[in-house]
Amino acid sequence: MAGQSDYLPPGLPFNRAQWPQEYQAKEQYDMRAAALVRQLFERKTTRAAVVQQIDATPETYRDFFRERLNFWRGKRETGVTK
């Protein structure tokens, strides 16, 4: 897939339902991280709410979720949203 995210392996089918569960979960956490960062920059949520979301994330995906939050924050801070 062209423009595929850096955390997904090459060669995944276009149909996300055919992806292994692990990659489906990672995509969901990535989208949640992007939405939280957007809400934080638009002042629609607080840092405390973001910390609560991190704590509510299962241990197996917590580090990944933090990485994606930092990734999207970096995109916002540099002004690159695509």
CA 26, distance to chain mean position in Å, is 7
Q: What percent of the chain lies above the pLDDT cut of 70?
A: 91
pLDDT at 9 over 70: yes
In a domain, 3, yes or no: no
- Prediction pTM value: 0.86
Q: What is the pLDDT of residues 42-63, one digit of tens each?
A: 999 999 999 999 999 999 999 9
**What's the DSSP call for residue 16?**
G
Is residue 62 exposed (0-12), middle (13-18) or buried (19+ Cβ within 10 Å)?
middle
Q: Are 7 and 30 in contact (CB under 8 A)?
A: yes
Q: How many domains does the chain have?
A: 1
Q: Which residues contact 64 (CB under 8 A, 6 or more apart)?
A: 7, 26, 29
Domain encompassing residue 57: 20-72
**Predicted pLDDT of residue 77:** 87
In a domain, 14, yes or no: no
In a domain, 13, yes or no: no
In a domain, 61, yes or no: yes
Rounded to 10 deg, the angle between the 47-56 and 59-78 helix axes is 150
